[in-house]
A = this chain, B = another copy of it.
Amino acid sequence: MGFVYDRSVCFPRGFTASGVAAGIKTNGVDDLGLIFAESEATVAAVFTLNRFQAAPIALSKRNIASSHSRAKAVLVNSGCANSLTGKRGLKSAEKMASETARQLHIGKNRVLVASTGVIGRQLPIENITEGIPALINSLSEEGDHLFSQSIMTTDKFPKQVAMEFELSRKGSFRIGGTAKGAGMIHPNMATMLCFLTTDADVDRKKLQEALSESTRESFNTITIDGDTSTNDTVFLLANGASGVKLRKPSELRTFSEGLTAVMKELATMIVRDGEGATRFVRLNVEYAYSYEDAVRVGRAIGTSPLVKTAIFGGDPNWGRVLSAVGNSYAKYDPSKVELRIGDVCVFKRNEPQRVDLTRLRDLFASKEIELTVRLNAGRESAQVFTCDLSYDYVKINGEYTT
């Protein structure tokens, strides 16, 4: 069975979700979402590495610690990041959790919260508390689509994916997820929120290991503009509702690989919906000395404004790609580096290669571009995904107003 694209966090059994317009955004669109686990779930989380961490992150970390990684609900708002908002911001995040807990009749440390939107502005907390009853009343197993919409900011489409996995003799378990991204996407994440659920039964430690590993291989290999936000959050809730207990290494590997596949698919959707993106770029870095080196070189290319504008312009200016490689701190010998655009080798053994420029232009005019750098310094490789830098990126971010 492959990916299911019209479902997300309610595809695994035992989860409901909802989304409403609470008036945090002024244009009347959905801006508040809730995920509810009928039985208490084990939770794993990954947060931004930005030194300034938003209030909802501080609160969620505290709740995860005090509940020993147990959660029943996740409340998320868009339209305001509740970041750099000081003590009042932390009180607002606490209120989000306590009000949800009160109305759901659960412990307040069983609620996780996340926010996305403009930084440095106080949350309109009344809108949120007033929106919670409607959110709870509309919780349903088909509510994941509304939830996915409620977390969007500059996203052009909701990002959802789900998948079912069969274990011989044990039965099947499911993983589903949704994300929001669009701008500020970079390795180590960026105002990127991602919510994942599974009905498998996985213990806390293994669940966290799987999530950390899958994050490294998915969200941490995409880059849109090199910025990492104060709010990035990934939550994974496992409620065990499938009855399938994953304990053996082989079973855990199946889970981990499945989770990576789901998260990679969401990461790819985020890049395709990068702010102003017109082209999707797959960067293969091969024969690197280490995996870290491969990712580092991929990121150096993927964050270069000169490379990204050339790609927007459909201009096969490959010298800029190698110049970006030359700016990365990876271990390699420049005279051994090879560069391919699609299947055309343009540079090898210190020499530009004879190429058909028309063919290159055609490859660069495509909606999907593949660049391959062979460092010939070792055996490791990585893929990094990025997009071009267009007029619309400037427009969206010059006008996304405070």
Contacts and interface: CB of A to CB of B under 8 A. Distances in A.
A229 interface: yes
A195 interface: no
Q: Is the interface of A mostly helix, strand, loop or mixed?
A: loop
Interface stretch (A162-170, A208-216, A257-265, A310-318): A310-318
B317 A402 contact: yes
A51 B227 contact: no
B305 A225 contact: yes
Interface string A313-354: 101111110111111000010100000000000110011100
Interface stretch (A30-38, A77-85, A98-106, A235-243): A77-85
B315 A400 contact: yes
Q: Contact size class for A?
A: 35 or more
A324 to B, nearest CB: 7
Interface stretch (A18-26, A107-115, A385-393): A385-393
Contacts of A323: 50, 52, 83, 119, 227-230
Interface in A177-206: 183-184
Contacts of A46: none
A398 interface: yes
Contacts of A352: 84-86, 120, 122
A83 B393 CA distance: 30
Contact of A52 (B120, B122, B304, B325): B325
Nearest to A188: B327
A8 to B, nearest CB: 27
B226 A305 contact: yes
A118 interface: yes
A356 interface: no
A397 interface: yes
Contact of A390 (B52, B121, B317, B394): B394
A252 interface: no
A303 B226 contact: yes
A51 B325 contact: yes
B84 A398 contact: no
Contacts of A346: 120
Interface in A50-85: 50-52, 81, 83-85
A377 to B, nearest CB: 12
A313 B401 contact: yes
Q: Name the residue in A315, A323, A391, A394 with the highest tally of chain B Cβ atoms < 10 Å from its Cβ.
A: A323
B319 A84 contact: yes
Given A320-B119, A323-B230, A391 B395 contact: yes
B304 A334 contact: no
B313 A398 contact: yes
Contacts of A390: 394, 398
Contact of A84 (B184, B303, B347, B397): B347
A346 B85 CA distance: 11
B227 A316 contact: no
Contacts of A51: 325-327, 332, 334
8 contacts: A52-B323, A87-B351, A119-B317, A120-B346, A305-B393, A309-B393, A357-B402, A391-B395
